[in-house]
């Protein structure tokens, strides 16, 4: 009976979603993926969900957001100036302020294949979500992995970051897979190293943040006593200081942003970036307590959480207002931690009381950002994004494909001499 209800709900969502306004579609999808997902229709509903979210994000007017700190304008400028294979690194450094070589050449080849800016943006976001699914799938079931992607997408801060911090969104799931492979079998060290290098050449800063996890991956699946933790932390701090000094000497963009904001006010600076960390930090601390109380044995996630908590503490102290640059891994882990907490709550009433407020906060937070519409989603339409149905977006999709998107480059543009 329950399975029949699940199958029916999946079929109804798939067949009626075309005619639902966005505000209703997201609500029904969230309930379905969390409560009612089944094996037949879940994949089709998931692909439709990814398409809708990807189109929403890639339809926005780029460049004016956050007083010009919208990074996508830099990506677009670099993309428009890619002309020859050998000049790609220089163009990427000049306009996008990075030489993450694999992402730069990925962009270059899309340019060679005549992808316009909209197609480039759309493809990159969609690829990111697909990679994220396969990354979650390493440690979760199919339904859990799909829900985790949905959770990640809808959470208010990760939804904002995926608009413009594009490289780290692509790199983090790849780096996580590399850490996973290295942790389960040292004999495939070359495979895990190759995957890690791929992630690093997409976003080097994320690779450096997670490098200690990769180096000590073989220890992640075992209990680490206090003395061993101290030794590992000291090694991490030593390596981090050396890397920080090297990056400072090489005039690294992210390091300069962090050191430029470092003053007495940056210590535990209360701002929106830290407020958005309350939920993931609450979940992680809760899981640590549950892990200890129930004597659980999944040390892989537990040890990663401990490292991440240490990273956030150090980040709050050092980075202050720039902490958003290092929180994406926390947001990536958040749905995993949420599901693992639920797995260890046996009482159904407690499970519902615990999960409903979090699920509701995902929906309301996401809806708030879309309704606020500071980034001008679907700016080529006269209707508010939350009122558009999937069916109504099809003519818009053709418009974007044929006539491309517009963006403001005034904050970022400079002539290359």
pLDDT digits (tens, 9 = 90+) for 308-345: 988 887 777 666 555 666 788 999 999 999 999 999 99
- What's the whole-model pTM score? 0.89
Q: Which residues of the chain have pLDDT under 70?
A: 1-4, 186, 225-237, 239-241, 243-273, 317-325, 413-417
Q: What is the pLDDT of residue 382?
A: 85
Q: What is the Cα–Cα distance from 218 to 174, expressed in whole angstroms?
A: 18
Q: What is the pLDDT of residue 303?
A: 92
Structure tokens at 348: 């159904």
Q: What is the pLDDT of residue 8?
A: 82
**Nearest to residue 224, comparing CAs of 183, 196, 165, 189?**
183
Q: What is the pLDDT of residue 268?
A: 47
Q: What is the pLDDT of residue 263?
A: 45
Q: What is the pLDDT of residue 112?
A: 95
């Amino acid at each position: 009976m329950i399975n029949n209800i699940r199958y029916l709900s999946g079929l109804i969502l798939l067949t009626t979603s075309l005619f639902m306004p966005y505000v209703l579609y997201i609500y029904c999808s969230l309930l379905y993926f969390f409560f009612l997902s089944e094996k037949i229709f879940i994949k089709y509903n998931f692909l439709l969900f990814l398409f809708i979210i990807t189109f929403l994000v890639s339809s926005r007017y780029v460049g004016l957001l956050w007083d010009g700190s919208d990074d996508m304008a830099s990506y677009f400028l670099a993309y428009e100036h890619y002309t020859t294979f050998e000049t790609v690194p220089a163009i990427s450094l000049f306009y996008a302020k990075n030489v993450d070589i694999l992402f730069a050449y990925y962009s270059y080849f899309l340019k060679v294949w005549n992808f316009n800016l909209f197609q480039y943006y759309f493809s990159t976001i969609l690829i990111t979500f697909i990679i994220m699914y396969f990354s979650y799938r390493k440690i979760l079931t199919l339904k859990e992995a799909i829900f985790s992607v949905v959770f990640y997408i809808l959470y208010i801060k990760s939804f904002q970051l995926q608009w413009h911090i594009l490289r780290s969104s692509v790199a983090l799931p790849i780096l996580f897979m590399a850490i996973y492979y290295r942790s389960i079998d040292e004999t495939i060290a070359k495979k895990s190293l190759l995957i890690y290098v791929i992630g690093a050449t997409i976003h080097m800063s994320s690779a450096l943040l997670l490098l200690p996890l990769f180096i000590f991956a073989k220890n992640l699946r075992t209990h680490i006593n206090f003395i061993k933790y101290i030794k590992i932390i000291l090694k991490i701090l030593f390596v981090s200081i050396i890397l920080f000094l090297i990056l400072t000497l090489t005039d690294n963009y992210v390091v300069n942003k962090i050191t430029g904001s470092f003053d007495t006010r940056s210590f535990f600076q209360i701002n929106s970036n830290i407020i958005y960390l309350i939920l993931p930090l609450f979940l992680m601390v809760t899981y640590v307590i549950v892990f200890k109380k129930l004597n659980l044995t999944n040390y892989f996630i537990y040890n990663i959480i401990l490292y991440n908590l240490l990273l956030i503490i150090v980040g709050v102290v050092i980075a202050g207002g720039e902490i958003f640059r290092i929180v994406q891994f926390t947001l990536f882990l958040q749905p995993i931690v949420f599901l693992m907490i639920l797995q260890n709550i046996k009482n159904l009433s407690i499970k519902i009381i615990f999960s409903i407020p979090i699920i509701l906060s995902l929906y309301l937070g996401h809806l708030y950002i879309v309704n606020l519409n500071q980034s001008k989603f679907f700016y080529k339409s006269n209707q508010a994004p939350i009122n558009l149905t999937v069916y109504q977006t099809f003519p818009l999709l053709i418009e974007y494909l044929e006539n491309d998107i517009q963006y403001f480059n005034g904050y970022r543009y400079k002539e290359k001499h």
